[in-house]
Amino acid sequence: MLVLIGVSEEGQKELIGIHDGARESKQSWKDFLQNLRSRGMTQSPSLAIGDGALGFWSALEEEFPQCSQQRCWVHKTANILDKMPKSVQPNAKRMIHEMYLSPTKETALKAYDEFLEHYTAKYPAACKCLGKDKEQLFSFYDFPAEHWRHIRTTNPIESTFATVRHRTRQTKGCGNRTATLTMVFKLAKIAEKGWIRLKGFQLLSKVVAGITFKDGEEVKKHVA
C-alpha cells in the first residue's frame, strides 16, 4: 500500500491518497503521483519526506523535480544501527541524534563528519548507509524551525499504519483488492481525526511562496 499525507495551509495533516502498487516500484509511485496531478495537484510540493524507497524518489524527480527531499531520520537511524554490534549502538545512536537535533546545519554536518571519522574503519557498511543520502538528510534546515519536528521523520504515516497492520493480522487476510483498499482507507480516515496540527502553520504560506529559510530562520532581504 502506497500512502501520501500532506498538510493544508491551516496546518492540518490530511490523507492525500492510498494506492496499491507492485511493491514500492518507480512505476507504481509514478502512477500515484500522476493521479494526484489529474485530481488537481498542479503546484509542486515544497518538500517530500520518506524512507529510502528508491521507487518513490525516482518517480518524484520525474513528476515534481522542484520538490526538495528529506529522508526519514528514524528509518535511517535504524538502518545504520542494524549494521553495527549492539555494544556500540548506544554511543552511535547518541552521535546520530547530535546530527539531526543540532540547531544549525553547520553543527549537524560537523557531527556527521565526526561519526564517519570515528566509525568508518571498523563499521564501513554503517557509514556507507549514512553517507548514501547526505544531502537529503539535512534538507529540513531549509525550512522553518517550528516545522522540524514534523518533517524529519515519517512518523505520522508509521503510527497510523500500526493500526492498519494490527487489523490486517486480526482479520487474517483482507479479501479482494476493493475490500483491502476500502479497509485501509476507512482506518486511515479514522486515524486522521487524531492527527496533530502542524506547529508553526502560520509560516506555511511563506514556504509555499518560496521564501528562503536558513537554519530554520527566515532570510531577510536588505534593500539598499
Q: Kindly report, residue by residue over 86-139, the tens digit of the pLDDT.
A: 999 999 999 999 999 999 999 999 999 999 999 999 999 999 999 989 999 999
- For the chain, count helices (H), then strands (E): 11, 6
Query: Residue 169 contacts by C-beta under 8 Å, 6 or more apart in sequence?
Result: none
CA distance linking residue 36 with residue 15, whole number of Å: 12
Q: What are the DSSP E strand ranges found in 45-168? A: 47-50, 68-71
Q: Which pLDDT band holds residue 173 (cuts at 50, 70, 90)?
A: low
Q: Say which residue, 82 or 167, is predicted with more confidence.
A: 82
Q: Which pLDDT band holds residue 191 (cuts at 50, 70, 90)?
A: confident
Q: What are the DSSP E strand ranges found in the chain? A: 2-7, 13-19, 47-50, 68-71, 213-214, 217-218
Q: Are 69 and 46 in contact (CB under 8 A)?
A: no
CA distance linking residue 215 with residue 93, whole number of Å: 23
CA atoms within 13 A on the CB side of 165: 6
**pLDDT(214) > 70:** yes
Query: Can you give the length of the chain in residues?
Result: 224
Helices 89-100 and 105-119 pack at an angle, to 10 degrees, of 160
Strand partners, 3: 18
Burial of 5 (0-12, 13-18, 19+ CB in 10 A): middle
Q: What average pLDDT score do residues 25-42 get?
A: 92
**pLDDT(224) > 60:** no
Q: Which pLDDT band holds residue 177 (cuts at 50, 70, 90)?
A: confident
What 3-state class would DSSP assign to 187? helix
